[in-house]
Amino acid sequence: MDRILEINSPDDIPEAIKGTPIGDLLEYHNLGRPFDKYTKAELLIGMCMDNRKHLRIPDQFAYILRTGGANLRPSEFKVSYAIAVGGIRYIALLAHSQCGMSGLMSRKDQFINGLVENAGWKRDYAEDHFLRFAPMFEIGNEIDFVISEALRLKQRYPGVTVVPLYYRVEDNHLLFVCNNC
């Protein structure tokens, strides 16, 4: 994992994001920085819907969009809303370890069986559902995906700073993802 940087002290935060809401996010979550008070969101956090992730951040600090794999393509109108109406100029995009949207195709049978058993679906309907939507939500390698999604969002919203991060589920730690480390 040569493309991720540990953030264990304020000195570890890259200069480009030090003093920004994304730098603040890293300080709040990883370093236990005391919370400032906010009356409006400072950034948008795009992260996976996985229930093992919990961020340590102050109230009203961020909009948070949770979607499988931190894939914001299906939520782009909400991203636009946060930028246009909420005045957001920073997006932190969080991939995470052990993501279920990575290698999604290998879970095809589990997915279909789960819909049949838990939702009462007919097998052919469940299979069609999986085959129709899985390619849209498969992210492949988490780090590669978060870098590509951050680049896509930077191109879509050139006035917004978009930074890819990585949430390590094993120890609840945020890491900085760089493309050129």
Give the model's pLDDT for residue 28: 98
Give the model's pLDDT for residue 50: 87
Going by C-alpha positions, the residue among 155, 161, 149 that lies closest to residue 102 is 149
Specify the pTM.
0.92
Give the model's pLDDT for residue 84: 98
CB atoms within 10 A of CB 107: 15
φ, ψ at 59 (rounded to 5°):
-60, 145
Query: How crowded is the C-beta side of 138, counted as CA atoms within 13 Å?
Result: 13
The residues of the chain that CATH labels 3.40.1050.10 are 4-102+140-177
Give the model's pLDDT for residue 99: 81
Q: Which helix (H) or strand (E) holds 47?
A: strand 43-47
User: What CA–CA distance (Å, rounded) separates 63 from 154?
Assistant: 18
Give the model's pLDDT for residue 1: 52
Query: How does pLDDT run along the chain (181 residues), one tens digit per residue?
Result: 568 899 999 999 999 999 999 999 999 999 999 999 999 999 999 998 888 888 999 999 999 999 988 899 889 999 999 999 999 999 999 999 888 888 999 999 999 999 999 999 999 999 999 999 999 888 888 999 999 999 999 999 999 999 999 999 999 999 999 876 5
Give the model's pLDDT for residue 181: 53
CB atoms within 10 A of CB 113: 12
Query: Which of these CATH numbers, 3.40.1050.10, 3.20.20.70, 3.40.50.300, 3.40.50.720, describes 4-102+140-177?
Result: 3.40.1050.10
- Copy the structure tokens of residue 38: 């906010």
